[in-house]
Amino acid sequence: MEPPTAEAVLQGVFTLYNDPNNVEKEKASKWLEEFQKSIHSWKIADELLRQKHDLNSCTFAAQTMRNKIQNSFHELPETAHESLRQSLLEHLSHITIETKSVIVTQLSLALADLALLMSSWQKPVATLLQRFSNNANMMYALIELLTLIPEEVNSRHLRLGANRRKEILLDLEADSTLVGEYLTLCLVNGNESELLRSKILKCFTSWVQINAFKLPEISDSMIIVYSFQLLSSGTTSPDLHEAATDCLCSLLHCMELNNSRGGLDDKLFGGIMCLEEAYNMSVAQEDLDKSMNLCRLFTVLVESNLTRMVALSDDETPHYSVKSLDLVLNCVGHYDYEVAEITFNMWYRLSEDLYQRNNYQLTSHFKPYVERLIAALYKHSQLDPDHDGLVSGSFNDFRFKVSEIVKDVIFIVSSISCFKQMFIILQSPNVSWESSEAALFIMQNVARNILPEESEVVPKVVEAILNLPENCHIAIRYTSISILGELCDWIDSNPETLQPVLNFLLFALQQKNGLATAAANSLQSICSSCKKHMLGHISGLMEIARCLDGFDIQTESAIGLLKGISIIIGRLPGPQLTPAMQELCSFQVEALSRLTNGDDDGLDGKKSRSDPAFWLDRLASIYRHVSTSERNNEVNPCAFVIINNWNVLSRALERYKNDSKIMERIVRCIRYAIRCIGKQAMPILEPLVKQIITIYSGHNHSCLLYLGSILVDEFAYEDGCTQGLLNMLQAFIEPTFGVLQMENGLKNHPDMVDDFFRLATRFIQRAPLQFLQSPLVTPIIQCGLLACTLDHREANISVMRFFCSLLRHDRANDLEPMVQSILASHGEALIMNLLYASVFCLHSNMLSDVAEVFVEIKQHSPLQLEEYVKKAVDSLPKKNSGGSVTVTHEQMVQFVSNVVNSQTPRATTQALQDFARLYR
């Protein structure tokens, strides 16, 4: 853009905030956005801050300055860093009590980021304290700065690099005493301003979070004492209460991280244990925010002691910190379930630790606490006495979380013990419906763990469910139906109960208001677990399938029910299987046939019925779950049905080729059809390939590439198929590369990258010789080299697997010379791109897939790998934009050595992650 003037920017800001014309506002917004990206914005933002024209222009200028330092610091030469620092310090020195907080924050962020990036600025914290600590007007701004500097150390925008970050953290640790003294002074001398006190606490917390303070030195800190005073008082404001909670939680996290035990540990533990009365007061005053703060603090106290609480409990005596669980359980008993929810992750961590140790005596110490937890969750799970209908909304979300936590901890108290305890509640005289339903809900979550031979309680529960009175609450009936599904393994071992259970569920299928959906889900579970016994009920199941659209069932549950029926059909003898499958498919195929012919009459008028996806998903479920056990040379009894239905799917491909969502459903259905009958799908292979090539040339649906990979997987071994499949790949390449070579093509089409390289990988796995001999290999490799930097998990995995498959072959076979030739031509560029991607583009958790490629190259030649890695490392920048050293010569040598000498992919991954941190 042309160099703008300060006046033009002022006019743009004025238009953005004041012009009533939305079109003009939009134009101004886009122009200002472009301005912020330009190199001219540095100078003009500085000028606007000096002019102090109005609030909006100052805010915009401060935001621009912060944005430029965070994202475009590399634009400034090192010689300009000092003048930028002086300018920002000058702007900050003019801050007064009246200065708007948004401007203070943006300027403080800009200076904080500059302090971290600018390696020539030695001891920035000490400089700031020296310059501003005696200026009362600067107290707020200085505390803001001191808060932001440690918070920004780990900012992903700044990419400081591990060396610079380590240098900064050492500096901050050295300056922490000065900061602690200044904050204490502000607390002592400050006025009664709650805002100031809150900022002091937040600043102290930010220094604790980066582990800058030496914990023994702050054990007597006035700020910690003040935090306890605030939490003990019933009159503390909400902001101060939260800030004090954050402060103590951060100290607990810090101690856990450092495994630091001693004076501060004892003070925190004792002090927090004494806050029970404060919690009880918050409950009495119905101050939910304070109750939640204190619950969070108690939970963090347990979490910070969890390791030693478990490890240091012996067979006879639990560790003393176990008593902190009483505080947490007190909170779980709060009248609002949101408070209980805060503790859930802690219970999960405790259960994981105990499960891994598998020590009955140790687990028994925690049994009473978990029993109390489940009792409290049972109470929280109760609906209101006047509630109509089923559980819904946020309470349904909470009950889902209760289900998860009960399943996590139940081994500590045993499923049958819990089941019996809830059954006792059900048998209590005059028990309310909501208590009964909550007990059934807890039972539902442990029912699948009940041993099949249990004969004391489960038969009574099943009998009670089967004899529920007509007038019982709908929520009780719903939960009871769900329990039967969870008891599917028990029913399989007690087949005498199967017939009455099926009768009960069939009756429920004909109900409305959610009961039919619950019945469908339970039937699916019983079909999956009771396959042998359900064979005798196939006629009833087929009748259910015929009437499926007459039931009030959610779409997903209907598909699940078809899955259950399909599983049973798959166990039928061949002569019975074919007609049963044909009939089951016909309900879906007939509807699809009408839709593909443009005739949706007779689909009962419901909108969902005229959506082809509705029927395609059902048909896909059948194809996926009818699993047969014929021998290799036998005809698959499903083949006749699937080939017979092909014309309808072919017409669907043609009719819906403009709709990517429906195309994905059709492809999914075809995929399961082919997987079901394998090479016996040969009659449809040629017409299918021709059709998807034609459609893909005009409509670049990546799902067609995925379907291509399925065809290669199934048919590449078959005589006469390989060349046709290679022709298919060649036909796919031109339209695919046309899309991916557009501006941001790779980034905007990750699904296409994913599916294309999955297809290429299948060729390497199924027909390596033919693939490597084809002229398609080189352009695909070149595309893969560009795609290495794509920061999309699935797409990047597919690219890495392609390269691994390309390199992963028996070194003694005929392919080795071809692979060596590929490595000689592309190996250096591959390692160069992979290392660049690892450092600048990919998330740390994606580097394990990159490491696999390094390992494969090493298998061919460690010397080649070493040469490539050395060149790749040497091409990377050695300094960052702030002038600090990103990577030393010793670190480069060490990285090359680590990669070349690593014995496992995990070690290579670690080497890449450590090296990437030097640039992040």
| pLDDT score, position 52 | 87
Q: Which residues contact 843 (CB under 8 A, 6 or more apart)?
A: 791, 793
How far is 559 from 779, CA to CA, in rounded Å?
42
Residue 800 domain-assigned? no
Q: What is the CA radius of gyration of the chain?
A: 34
Instruction: Write the single-letter amino acid at 359.
Output: N
Residue keyed to tokens 């698959």: 636
Contact between residue 36 and residue 67 where contact means Cβ atoms under 8 Å apart: yes
Could you identify the residue written with the tokens 């000490």? 126
What tens digit of pLDDT does each residue of 698-722 get?
A: 999 999 999 999 999 999 988 889 9
Give the model's confidence band at 279: pLDDT under 50 very low, under 70 low, under 90 confident, else very high: very high
In a domain, 774, yes or no: no
First to last CA, the chain: 31
Q: What is the mean pLDDT of the chain?
A: 93
Q: What pLDDT shows up at residue 258?
A: 82
Rounded CA separation 715/689 (Å): 12
Q: CA 627, CA 623: separation in Å to the nearest integer?
A: 8
Q: Give the model's pLDDT for residue 537.
A: 95
The answer to the question of residue 203 being in a domain is no
Count up the domains in the chain and report the number.
3
List, in sequence order, the alpha helices (H) in 467-599: 474-486, 488-493, 498-509, 515-529, 531-534, 538-546, 555-569, 574-596
Residue pair 743/694 in contact by the 8 Å Cβ criterion? no
832, pLDDT greater than 80:
yes
Q: Which residue is associated with the tokens 């687990």?
A: 363
Query: In this structure, are 550 and 581 located in the same domain?
Result: no
Banded model confidence at residue 809, pLDDT cuts 50, 70, 90: low
Closest CA to 144 of 51, 206, 68: 206
The secondary element (H helix, E strand) that includes residue 39 is none
Q: Which helix (H) or strand (E) holds 571?
A: none
pLDDT at 103 over 60: yes
Q: What is the pLDDT of residues 542-566, one digit of tens each?
A: 999 999 989 999 999 999 999 999 9
Three-state SS sequence of 421-437 = HHHHHHHCCCCCHHHHH
Listing DSSP states for 118-139 in one string gives -TT---HHHHHHHHHTT-GGGH
Give the 3-state secondary structure of 680-698.
Answer: HHHHHHHHHHHHHHHHHHH
Cα separation, 93 vs 517, in Å, equals 67
Q: Provide CB contacts within 8 A for 154, sequence distance 6+.
A: 165, 210
Q: Are residues 368 and 426 in the same domain?
A: no
pLDDT > 90 in the chain, percent? 86
Which of 551, 550, 479 has its CA nearest to residue 520? 551
Summarize the confidence of residues 44-50 as an average pLDDT: 91
* Same domain, yes or no: 362 and 446: no
Q: For the chain, how many helices (H) and strands (E)?
A: 48, 0
Give the single-character DSSP code of 450: S
Residue 909 domain-assigned?
A: no
Nearest CA to 175 among 129, 107, 216, 109? 129
Place of tokens 């598998």: 358
Judged by DSSP in three states, 359 sits in coil
Cα 834 to Cα 853: distance, rounded to the nearest angstrom: 9
Report yes or no: 873 and 894 within 8 Å, Cβ to Cβ: no
In the beta sheet, which residues pair with residue 885? 879
Residue whose C-alpha is closest to residue 726's, from 682, 772, 757, 784: 772
Distance CA 852, CA 819 (A): 16
Nearest to 632 by CA among 717, 698, 552: 717
Six token digits for residue 171: 């500096």
Specify whether the backbone of 510 is left (phi greater than 0), alpha (psi in -120 to 50) or beta.
Answer: alpha
pLDDT digits (tens, 9 = 90+) for 415-451: 999 999 999 999 999 999 999 999 999 999 999 999 9
The last residue of one of the domains, among 667, 699, 731, is: 699
The average pLDDT across 637-666 equals 96
* Residue 38, helix vs strand vs coil: coil
413 and 553 fall within a common domain: yes
The DSSP symbol for 573 reads -
Q: Residue 879 forms beta bridges with which residues?
A: 885
CB atoms within 10 A of CB 280: 13
Angle between helices 498-509 and 474-486 (to 10 degrees): 140
Among candidates 461, 467, 466, 468, which has minimal Cα distance to 442? 461
Q: Say how far apart CA 132 and CA 126 lie, in whole Å.
A: 10
SS3 727: helix
pLDDT at 603 over 70: no
Torsion of CA 417, 422, 427, 433, to 10 degrees: -170
Q: Cα dist. 456→235, 384, 412, 419, 481 in Å?
A: 55, 31, 21, 11, 20
Whether residue 535 is contained in a domain is answered as yes
Q: Are residues 534 and 389 in the same domain?
A: yes
Q: Are residues 238 and 263 in the same domain?
A: yes
Q: Which residues contact 120 (CB under 8 A, 6 or more apart)?
A: 78, 81, 82, 883
Domain co-membership, 355 together with 449: no
Asked if residue 449 and residue 310 are part of one domain, the reply reads no
**pLDDT-above-70 percentage for the chain:** 98
Q: How far apart are CA 802 and CA 777, in angstroms?
A: 11
Are residues 550 and 422 part of one domain?
yes
Same domain flag for 267 and 340: yes
* Judgement on whether residues 539 and 501 belong to the same structural domain of the protein: yes
pTM over cut 0.85? yes
Collect contacts of 80-84 with beta carbons under 8 A, ≥24 apart. Answer: 81/114, 81/118, 81/120, 81/121, 81/882, 81/883, 82/120, 84/42, 84/114
- Looking at 656, 681, 699, which one is the last position of a domain? 699
Q: How confident is the model at residue 808 (pLDDT cuts 50, 70, 90)?
A: confident
CB of 728 within 8 A of CB of 711? yes
Identify the helix (H) or strand (E) that includes residue 570: none
Contact predicate 187/226, CB 8 Å: yes
Question: Do residues 327 and 291 make contact, with C-beta atoms less than 8 angstroms apart?
Answer: no
So what's the pLDDT on residue 97?
Answer: 76
- Residue 722 falls inside a structural domain: no
pLDDT of residue 32: 93
Q: What residue numbers bound the domain in which 455 lies?
A: 382-395+407-560
State the Cα–Cα distance between residues 146 and 207, nearest whole angstrom. 9
Residue 33 pLDDT? 92
Kindly report, residue by residue over 504-542, the tens digit of the pLDDT.
Answer: 999 999 998 899 999 999 999 999 999 999 999 999 999
**CA pair distance 364, 315, nearest whole angstrom:** 9
Choice among 157-161, 177-181, 380-384, 791-795 with the minimum mean pLDDT: 157-161
Report the distance separating Cα 269 and Cα 257, nearest Å.
16
- If phi > 0 it is left, if psi is from -120 to 50 it is alpha, else beta; for residue 19 that is beta
Binned at pLDDT 50, 70 and 90, residue 19 comes out as confident
Show the 3-state SS of 610-678.
HCHHHHHHHHHHHHHHCCCCCCCCCCCCCHHHHHHCHHHHHHHHHHCCCCHHHHHHHHHHHHHHHHHHH
679: closest CA among 630, 741, 606? 630
Q: Rounded distance, CA 309 to CA 303, Å?
A: 9
pLDDT above 70 (res 749): yes
Sign of the Cα pseudo-torsion (623, 629, 633, 635, in order): negative
pLDDT at position 606, please? 61
In a shared domain, residues 312 and 353: yes
**Residue 433 CA, distance from chain mean position:** 38
- Say which residues have a Cβ less than 8 Å from residue 895's Cβ, sequence separation at least 6: 869, 873, 911, 914, 915
Torsion of CA 614, 618, 623, 628, to 10 degrees: 180
Residue 438 lies in a domain: yes
In this structure, is residue 350 part of a structural domain? yes
Q: Is residue 341 over pLDDT 90?
A: yes
31: confidence class by pLDDT, cuts 50, 70, 90: very high
**How much is the pLDDT for 607?**
60
- The average pLDDT across 45-59 equals 90
Give the residue ranges of DSSP H helices in 274-392: 276-284, 288-311, 324-332, 337-342, 344-357, 360-380
pLDDT of residue 598: 81
Distance between CA atoms of 264 and 248, rounded to whole angstroms? 11
